[in-house]
Amino acid sequence: MSETLRTIKQSRRGLMIVLSSPSGAGKTTLTRKLLAEHPDMTMSVSGTTRAPRPGERDGVDYYFLTKNQFSDMINEDEFLEHAKVFDNFYGTPRGPVETALGEGKDVVFDIDWQGAQQLAEAAADDLVKIFILPPNMRELESRLKTRAQDSDSVIAKRMSKSEAEISHWAEYDYVIVNEDVETALAELRMIVAAERMRRRRQLWLSGFVKSLISGA
Ligand SMILES: Nc1ncnc2c1ncn2[C@@H]1O[C@H](COP(=O)(O)OP(=O)(O)OP(=O)(O)O)[C@@H](O)[C@H]1O
Ligand SMILES: Nc1nc2c(ncn2[C@@H]2O[C@H](COP(=O)(O)O)[C@@H](O)[C@H]2O)c(=O)[nH]1
């Protein structure tokens, strides 16, 4: 690729790639793997009032907030979206996302269907919504148990809500059944590659075609 073409191709808007699923279907696993392959992408780090799990780090996995801090952020309009999920509040801080998108970086969101709906209202053009399904409900429960980070009652609550979460699958652009993680990752990779190539997202194209035709 010529240097000029490389330079103009950089002028693109970042994608907002949303992953939703019932708890334990594998969003975090797939997101981490995708980001490891794409250093040019960034993860939106949510704020939450949930207590940290063992090994979770503030500012890396989540911003762990008190209920007061969370409601202050709502009042200051610092969330792009926010929702109550299970028994806790979760929200996407606006600033880092707007900065990353402004720099043309793709941003990945691990959020529930309520958040996905709110982002769709705010930024439909740049949004790619992907729903992750487990191969079956027994496997979903087994993954939550094997993860061993939530109590039995929390796991039971999440399983009891899984059907309601799954009922939103048809609101998404793509659905991936995460049976084998490498296959699911390959599907995710293909979605990202195709979405990056959509004509309306490649702002450089009309200028390029003009110069192509004029022979410049
Ligand atoms: N394809 C797979 N096969 C087997 N285990 C998997 C697969 N994908 C993910 N897992 C495991 O299932 C567990 C749950 O995965 P993960 O934490 O990524 O789910 P999640 O959708 O992010 O959950 P939550 O919504 O609760 O944050 C983890 O222990 C993970 O290693
Ligand atoms: N609407 C939002 N949902 C979010 C956000 N961050 C995470 N989540 C969703 O919450 C559940 C539970 O997450 P866990 O880390 O406690 O297992 C899961 O479905 C996440 O996708 C957010 O900022 N907004």
3-state DSSP call for residue 182? helix
Q: Is 49 annotated as a binding residue?
A: no
**Amino acid 8: pLDDT:** 47
Q: 91 CB less than 6 Å from ligand 2? A: yes
Q: Which atom of ligand 2 is nearest to the CA of 22?
A: 19
Q: Is 20 annotated as a binding residue?
A: no
- How far, in Å, from the CA of 90 to the mean position of ligand 2? 6
Average pLDDT over residues 168-172: 98
CA angle 115–174–25, rounded 5-degree value: 65
Please provide the average confidence, as pLDDT, over all residues in the chain: 92
3-state DSSP call for residue 16? strand
CA angle 205–211–212, rounded 5-degree value: 80
**Amino acid 1: pLDDT:** 53
Q: 83 CB less than 6 Å from ligand 2? A: yes
pLDDT tens readout for residues 3-29 = 554 554 555 678 999 999 999 999 999
- How far, in Å, from the CA of 28 to the mean position of ligand 1? 7
What is this model's ipTM? Answer: 0.98
Average pLDDT over residues 166-182: 98
Domain ranges of the chain: 3-44+105-214
Query: 4: which 2 tokens?
Result: 């000029």
* Residue whose tokens read 């390959």: 186
Query: 48: which 2 tokens?
Result: 């939450």
Phi, psi of 55, rounded to the nearest 5 degrees: 90, -15
CB burial readout 31-58, b (16+ within 10 A) else e:
bebbeeeeeebbbbbbbbbbeeeeeeee
The top-level CATH class assigned to 3-44+105-214 is alpha beta
Q: Distance between CA 77 and CA 71 in Å, rounded?
A: 10
Average pLDDT over residues 156-183: 97
- Given pLDDT bands bounded at 50, 70 and 90, which one contains residue 199? confident
**Amino acid 10: pLDDT:** 55
Write the residue with the smallest CA distance to atom 4 of ligand 2. 111
Q: 50 CB less than 6 Å from ligand 2? A: yes
Name the closest ligand to CA 133: 1
